[in-house]
Amino acid sequence: MRILFASQNKSKKDEISKIFERFSDKYSIYIDDKNIEVDEDQETIEKNAIKKAIEYYKFFKTPVISDDSGLFVDSLDGMPGVFSARFAGENATDEENIKKLLKLMQNRANKIAKFQTVLCFYNGSELITTFGELHGSIILKPRGDNGFGYDPIFEVNGKTLAELTTEEKSKISHRNEASINMVKKLDEI
């Protein structure tokens, strides 16, 4: 089954596609050149993922999978959370978001954080959501050239996500857990 990825974020699409391919050859994730803007105005990443999937389905009339993710930092009461992509402003770059987060983290002893992902599949009748989490900590000096978003400052087992290859990251990531669960649920319909 071909499934449209509800985003223009090629990095996320590639990561999810690789994970799906490891567990099933029945699904092909793709991006359409046409893009629709979906206002991510919900109060949770789950509700944002559901909204994106439904709006993409209404526009493209094809099975859709959407993703919403967030970085939740303990000592910041879960911030940036649902606002992770626009933490430093509506059109903020990854670097601007990291800079703002690091400024807030300067004098905080607790660096514990987690990434959470929600995937949502919608085909006009079935609505399926799955979840994934990755626990780690924030480092104050970015390391690594791979990945995107907060990857250069999110450390797991001594390495940042930006120091891992795409394959290494996809085996441990929050998207890995959500994607594996999604493949299992899709196999049931």
146 SS3 class: coil
Is residue 68 part of the annotated active site? The answer reads: yes
pTM of structure:
0.87
Catalytic residue among 32, 33, 68, 74: 68
Confidence tier at 114 by pLDDT (50, 70, 90): very high
- Supply the mean pLDDT for the chain: 92
Over 80: is that where the pLDDT of 124 sits? yes
Output the pLDDT for position 156.
96
Nearest CA to 64 out of 9, 17, 6 is that of: 6
Alpha carbon 141 to its chain's center: 22
Which domains are delineated in the chain? 2-187 (3.90.950.10)
